[in-house]
Amino acid sequence: MNLLEKEQLIQEQAIALETASAEEIIRYAVQTFPNITFACSFGAEDVVLVDMVQKISPGTDIFYLDTDFHFEETYHTRDRLVAKYNMEFVRVAPVLSPEEQAAQHGDTLWQVNPNQCCNIRKVEPLTRILSQYDAWITGIRRDQAPTRANAKKIEYDNKFGLVKFNPIADWTQDEVWAYIREHDVIYNPLHDQNYPSIGCHYCTRQVMPGEDPRAGRWSGNEKTECGLHK
């Protein structure tokens, strides 16, 4: 099957499964692509999917990109999830340590060139880990940002060359939090402190009332995505 035929088949499946539940999408994903992984950032959407994946397919690999610049609360959330589900996350680290990055690119690359910083600490590590799999699961939702508005529940990821599943693409923020409350899911306490979207601590700030939920990411420049999904 060539790439065009594969993309056509995925488009047909995306249409057929558009109304499927998140759990149904995950079951379909792990059954159809046993060599699949889930990318977890420990945000609200992703802890929901951790809960679902652990209930549906606990043997599925779940990895996180350890940029070395996460909030302490994010690492603590990781540890609490590990303890609750008796599992381990696959840690994926950048090639450069923070000290090596500073030596090569300066002490504040995230300010001078945030795209390059994201490429070093997120995009390259993601490219490396995804090359080992046939498909991946993400927690992106259509209403998170205009760049994600057209996300399908199943799509071919041309950037990384594999199938991508977005089980909660059609969920609202309220639905995410309803699931967290109903299932008593562990979540990052920063969400209770006006951090709806949480990335590296250097590039994430609190969001004030009335602001876009992603206004706290890379505040002060036009950057809206780290490069993982666009």
Q: Three-state SS for 76?
A: helix
Positions marked catalytic: 226
Q: How does strand 61-65 pair with strand 36-39?
A: parallel
Q: Shortest CA distance to 48 belongs to which of 217, 171, 157?
A: 171
Q: Which residue has the tokens 């639905």?
A: 175
Buried b (16+ CB within 10 A) or exposed e, 29-51: bbeebeebbbbbbbbbbbbbbbb
Contact 229, 118 (CB under 8 A): no
